[in-house]
């Protein structure tokens, strides 16, 4: 019997599409990881959220949680906090367009992005994010070391760095697909593992020391129709610590027993 998977890395991403930070604990509330995707860069002219699918340079910036919200570090080392009165001007100057840094307030936000590739303007589309979070689908994302190893074996020339895939929890052990449809406890948190994570062009984008690699997505599409990792919702809030073990049970089977 394989050992239960453990949390070997914990991540949060205070600003949508920017690099995140590793931590030794995550606090999960009913709507997901506290401090995760709390802010987003919004195009001033449209009010729509800007993501790295349309503006890959966002991935070259890093965001860390700060008592005033988040601290941003731009390429070259410039640092400022989200509460800085010049934050919008600094970001606008860096990106070469008028943008605003916005905190999530509970309302629905619209994203405008290239769903396939920025080189294909016809692929521009819009969609609404879930109310209350700057996440595309679900509030918690899990990936496994086994999935990274298996994917790397299929495309050994690729750099299968966890930063490309932006999970909140990286687990030890095999691929996480077997967790779908289960209720999992990790730390004192209960998660419902709801769906596979469908990948898009974002995983191919360059960021800091990681090169652009379209074959990353092609290989995932060929192997698993583009799925890589799993999404979850929070059933019982709490804290996950680095090294916590994940234990899952089949929700459907449990219901049949009752």
When the pLDDT of each residue in the chain is averaged and rounded to a whole number, the result is: 89
Per residue in 237-258, pLDDT (tens digit) is: 999 999 999 999 865 544 433 3
DSSP 129-185: PPTTSS-SS-SEEEEEHHHHHHHHHHSTTS---GGGT--SEEESSS-GGGGTTEEEE
Of 27-36, 80-89, 115-124, 233-242, the one with minimum mean pLDDT is 115-124
In the chain, what percentage of residues exceed pLDDT 70?
A: 88
* Residue 64: per-residue pLDDT: 96
Q: How confident is the model at residue 190 (pLDDT cuts 50, 70, 90)?
A: very high
Statement: the pTM of the whole predicted model exceeds 0.85: yes
* Residue 139: per-residue pLDDT: 92
Per residue in 4-28, pLDDT (tens digit) is: 999 999 999 999 999 999 999 999 9
Rounded CA gap, 87 and 66, in Å? 14
pLDDT surpasses 80 at 42? yes
Per residue in 93-141, pLDDT (tens digit) is: 999 999 999 988 776 677 766 555 555 555 566 667 766 678 888 899 9
Q: How confident is the model at residue 170 (pLDDT cuts 50, 70, 90)?
A: very high
* Residue 185: per-residue pLDDT: 97
* Residue 127: per-residue pLDDT: 66
């Amino acid at each position: 019997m394989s050992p239960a998977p453990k949390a070997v890395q914990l991540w949060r991403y205070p600003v949508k599409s920017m690099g995140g930070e590793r931590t030794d604990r995550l606090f999960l509330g009913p709507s997901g990881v506290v401090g995760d995707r709390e802010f987003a860069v919004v195009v001033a002219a449209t009010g729509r959220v800007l993501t790295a699918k349309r503006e890959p340079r966002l991935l070259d910036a890093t965001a860390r949680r700060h008592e005033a919200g988040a601290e941003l570090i731009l390429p070259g080392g410039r640092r400022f906090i989200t509460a800085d009165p010049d934050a919008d001007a600094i970001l606008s100057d860096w990106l070469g367009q008028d943008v605003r840094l916005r905190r999530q307030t509970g309302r629905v936000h619209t994203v405008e992005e290239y769903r396939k590739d920025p080189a294909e303007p016809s692929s521009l589309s819009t969609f609404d994010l879930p109310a209350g979070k700057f996440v595309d689908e679900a509030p918690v994302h899990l990936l496994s070391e086994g999935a990274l190893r298996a994917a790397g074996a299929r495309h050994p020339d690729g750099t299968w760095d966890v930063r490309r895939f932006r999970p909140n929890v990286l687990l030890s052990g095999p691929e996480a697909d077997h967790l779908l449809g289960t209720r999992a406890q990790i730390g004192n948190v209960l998660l419902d593992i709801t769906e596979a994570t469908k990948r898009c062009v974002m995983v191919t984008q360059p960021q800091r020391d990681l090169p652009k690699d379209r074959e990353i997505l092609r290989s995932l599409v060929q192997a698993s129709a583009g799925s890589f990792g799993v999404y979850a919702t929070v059933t019982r809030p709490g804290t996950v610590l680095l090294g916590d073990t994940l234990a899952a049970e089949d929700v459907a089977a449990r219901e049949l027993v009752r």
